[in-house]
């Protein structure tokens, strides 16, 4: 597998690892999403000043308003974070080179 294929597989595996904890094995409840973020993106919530960040994320991503996220609803979250991180990547790379 290529590096990109491994990354895609990893996102799918991580999503389903947390989704299987609840009733529907193909969706994340708010509780499961919170656990996923706490375990897989620990620095994300720490950097958020607003305590209702998780509520806003869930509301924004839950397109069909069933209070759960399927994989298709979850991916925009990962994509958005990836885009934000990529914008800072050159800055981080430059700082590492200066040390």
pLDDT in tens, 18-76: 999 878 899 999 999 999 998 999 877 676 667 688 888 899 999 999 999 999 999 99
What average pLDDT score do residues 13-18 get? Answer: 97
Rounded to the nearest 5 percent, the helix, strand and coil shares of the chain are 70, 5, 25
Domain extents in the chain: 3-98
- SS3 of residue 67 by DSSP: coil
What would the two tokens of residue 73 be? 């609803």
Higher-confidence position of 96 and 40? 40
**What does the pLDDT read at residue 99?**
47
**What does the pLDDT read at residue 89?**
67
**CATH number of the domain at 3-98, out of 3.30.390.10, 1.10.238.10, 1.10.3720.10, 3.30.420.40?**
1.10.238.10
> Would strands 27-28 and 69-70 be described as parallel, antiparallel, or unpaired?
antiparallel
Torsion of CA 12, 49, 46, 5, to 10 degrees: 20
- Going through 1-99 in order, the beta strands assigned E by DSSP cover 27-28, 69-70
How much is the pTM? 0.80
**What does the pLDDT read at residue 65?**
94
């Amino acid at each position: 597998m290529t590096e990109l294929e491994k990354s895609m597989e990893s996102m799918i595996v991580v999503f389903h690892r947390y989704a299987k904890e609840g009733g529907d094995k193909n969706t994340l409840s708010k509780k499961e999403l919170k656990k996923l973020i706490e375990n897989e993106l620990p620095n994300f919530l720490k950097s958020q000043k607003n305590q209702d960040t998780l509520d806003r994320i869930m509301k924004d991503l839950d397109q069909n308003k069933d209070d759960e996220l399927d994989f298709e609803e979850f991916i925009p979250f990962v994509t958005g974070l990836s885009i934000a991180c990529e914008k800072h990547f050159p800055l981080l790379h430059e700082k590492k080179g200066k040390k």
